[in-house]
Chains A and B, each alone.
Chain A
Amino acid sequence: MEFILEGQAGSKAIFVELATRFTVLPGKPRTVTRTLFDTFDWRLYAAGQRLEEMGEGESVRAEWVENASGKVLGSMNGPVGRMANNWQPASVAGALARTIKMRALLPLAVVNTILWPADLLDEREKTVVRVSVEISKTGAIGAKAAKEIPSVVRLSAVRGYHKAFEQTIAVLAGLPGLTRAEHSTLDSVLLANGRTPLDYSSKINIKLSPGVLAEKAVRKVLGRLVEIMAANHDGTVANIDSEFLHDFRVAVRRTRSMLGQMNASIPAATLKQFRPEFDWLGAVTGPTRDLDVYILKFDDYVIPLDEKVRRDLAPLRKHIFRRQHQEQLNLARAISAKRYRELIFDWKKALCSSWKSGSENWRGGDPAEAVAGQRILKILKRALRQGKTLTDDSPASAVHELRITCKKLRYMMEFFKSLFPAAEIDELTGALKELQDNLGDFQDYEVHRAELYKFADEMVLLKTARPRTLLGIGQLAESLAERQRLARADLGRRFAEFAAKKNIVRFRTLFEPSKRSLLDEGDRNL
């Protein structure tokens, strides 16, 4: 609970006023340096929380706080760790991980505060409220904290003494020059440092206007995708957390999918120039991402194994981390090079002006809604055909093909989402996601199982695997195979649910222009 302090009202005046109600026990003035942290995509801010590191003299403390109530969700001595699992105790680490998951905490800004604290005591000399008057300056990380932010009077409730807290608020609210802060000072700190909360999202989040031409819609979506790549580039190179590469790579994959699916609305020369380049970008980012996924899933993978086997697998874990490190260096080199910079520069330029083509297959001048809708139905048809021909004996590659088709379908629905009724497209996306989750699991197990053999070979060559480790790898491979069998056994049901008649009818009504106009006619006739 904070009050903004305007003008000259100092701590003295405020404490004098509070002394009419309580015994005011002032403490020594303190100088505190706070560093605010959040993830790149503002997961704490979005959850209404903040995390700060507080340095005072020699001591450093970390605190994780709920903004609205001021409730401390976790605190520890020492600096803020990069990842949730650096927190102590484990219960707080777990709770923090539920909010920020695998993302790293990055410093946002520094605030230097001179703070006049006081305890408010009741007639029994019990502390019932804590108050502090705080005068602060802020600055970016590494810069001098020189920007003024409003001074505040901060109240902290003591549990079980709510009445005294309300009384304190009433006293302060009656003072001139004090206004109750709507938001925590967090917002003014960010504002002063030119930071806009929630300025990054990995979602496409663009609004296409109805009737927009296909080529324009395609350029707009691709423009947003290259923006996501650029936003994640530096974090990917620096390997801050695995999510930078994840978002970067999804944007690359979506771009490639768009170039493939909407090729009739993109000039042939443009395709010829850029498709190989984005294929290259997909290829150089693949190995690191695969290893990242392996690392994220490793702990879950080994759960079914005996404690002893898990210990035997420690060298494998180490090997995967080492491989990730090597691949990460390759990746960082590739996307720091001229080829990448030129690609992004040329691509942005190519997206700037309208596309035209003399080709007889050119659809760029048609409404995006019609072109995308037709394409979506065509991919759907392919997915249905691939799914229906799957039998228990089909090879993993056939399942993989269905997975790729579903992914294309999903991307297309996301690209052009804003052109169709939101509720309906969300519902169909949800149905598709159920199927995709199963296909994704199946494929991860397939790839990760195959990779285990590769790791084993490498470890033998490097002499980092003892026989018992190799035996453990065998057990892990068998365990993954079992999980894969379970996923495969569930595929039939999931596909049938997705391919249910009611879903197909919904797809048709949503994406087939003739059906839609028929529906509209029907409405009008009613």
Chain B
Amino acid sequence: MKVIATYNIKGGVGKTAAAVNLSWLAARSGLRTLVWDLDPQGAATFYFRVQPKVRGGGKNLVKGSSRISDFIKGTDYENLDLMPADFSYRNLDIRLDQKKNPTKRLKKLLAPLKADYDLVVLDCPPSISLVSESVFFAADALVVPVIPTTLSQRTLEQLYGFRSDRKLDGLKLLIFFSLVDRRKKLHHEVMAEIAVQHPEVLKTHIPNASQVERMGIYKKPICDFAGSCDAAQAYEELWAEIKKILWR
């Protein structure tokens, strides 16, 4: 079982859009896939039409009093399940804190799912928090959408800094450009510069495309309702790149 997490301390950069589409593509390729919505806002849960409320809430989960698999819901797609967001996740930070080893907790929660899933996609909330700390320990790779701006260079340095501070050398950083506007000169310049300094950044760009926003109307991944549009094709390429690295 591989674990990836869509991660960026900023909101609105396309983390959830990536989580939803990548997990859908993974499931379609035959991998038994679980999306875990860690964001109390529950956007991923919403896209998959699952009710955000989890029976028992986040409390029991972290305490370990009930089995984690009891909370999982099947989506409308085969091979694709979802751990719904819950408003009590607002408290997940605090709850994790009460444990002796909060950073390892999420990894422990995932352990019993090993036999059931080939891939887990954690959709992270924005901001640095204990949740994200525990995500670093649980994940094999962070999938990081970055909007190409003058600040993106700094975002990257911060990420690499994080990883070395925490001695997480095994954690892969899969950085890709998101919400790319083909008409903006600045975007092209920033991407060209970063491609030179960080050749490990993924090749695929996800374009800024209005169809992606329509996911909220259809409540479906764009790869499902508009599979042939540019953005959907870009997600397919992104998935192909990530898949290759994960199972290398």
Contact = CB atoms under 8 A, between A and B. Distances in A.
Given A75-B79, A159-B73, A92 B51 contact: no
Given A76-B30, A125-B49, A126-B49, A92 B73 contact: no
B50 A61 contact: no
Contacts of A119: 76
A375 to B, nearest CB: 49
A89 interface: yes
Given A75-B79, A125-B49, A159-B81, A91 B72 contact: no
Given A75-B79, A89-B118, A91-B1, A160 B73 contact: yes
B118 A91 contact: yes
A92 B247 CA distance: 14
Interface in A92-140: 92, 95, 119, 124-127
A357 interface: no
B31 interface: yes
Contacts of B79: 72, 75
Best-buried of B49, B219, B247 by chain A (most CB within 10 Å): B49
A88 interface: yes
Chain B interface helix/strand/loop/mixed: loop
Given A88-B30, A89-B31, A95 B115 contact: yes
A160 B74 contact: yes
Contacts of B31: 89
B23 to A, nearest CB: 15
A280 interface: no
A160 B1 contact: no
Nearest to B73: A160
B143 to A, nearest CB: 18
B32 interface: yes
A190 B12 CA distance: 55
Interface string B21-45: 0000000011110000000000000
A77 B72 contact: no
Nearest to B29: A77
Interface size class of A (residues with CB under 8 A): 20 to 34
A305 interface: no
Contacts of A157: 74
A119 B78 CA distance: 12
Main secondary structure of the interface of A (DSSP, over half): mixed
Contact of B50 (A75, A95, A126): A126
Contacts of A74: 32
A376 B98 CA distance: 67
A158 interface: yes
B185 to A, nearest CB: 41
Contacts of A298: none
Given A126-B50, A159-B72, A161-B74, A77 B30 contact: yes
A75 B76 contact: no
Contacts of A77: 29-30
B247 A89 contact: yes
Contacts of A91: 1, 114, 118
A303 B78 CA distance: 39
Contacts of A72: 32, 78-79
**Counting chain B CB atoms within 10 Å of each CB, which of A91, A124, A157 scores highest?**
A91
Nearest to B50: A126
A210 to B, nearest CB: 47
A102 to B, nearest CB: 22
A268 B219 CA distance: 84
Contact of A75 (B1, B30, B51, B73): B30
A161 B84 CA distance: 13
Contacts of A92: 118
B26 to A, nearest CB: 11
A159 B49 contact: no
Nearest to B30: A76
A160 B50 CA distance: 10
Contacts of B32: 72, 74-75
Interface in B95-148: 114-115, 118
User: Which residue, of A61, A125, A127, has the highest number of chain B Cβ atoms within 10 A?
Assistant: A127
Interface in B171-190: none
A154 to B, nearest CB: 13
25 contacts: A61-B30, A72-B78, A74-B32, A75-B30, A76-B30, A77-B29, A77-B30, A89-B31, A91-B1, A91-B114, A91-B118, A92-B118, A125-B49, A126-B49, A126-B50, A126-B76, A127-B49, A127-B74, A158-B73, A159-B73, A159-B74, A160-B50, A160-B74, A160-B81, A161-B73
Given A72-B78, A91-B118, A160-B50, 20 more contacts: A61-B30, A72-B79, A75-B32, A88-B30, A89-B31, A89-B118, A89-B247, A91-B1, A95-B115, A119-B76, A126-B49, A126-B50, A126-B76, A127-B49, A157-B74, A158-B73, A159-B74, A160-B73, A160-B81, A161-B73
Top 5 closest pairs, chain A to chain B, by CB = A160-B73, A158-B74, A159-B74, A127-B76, A76-B30
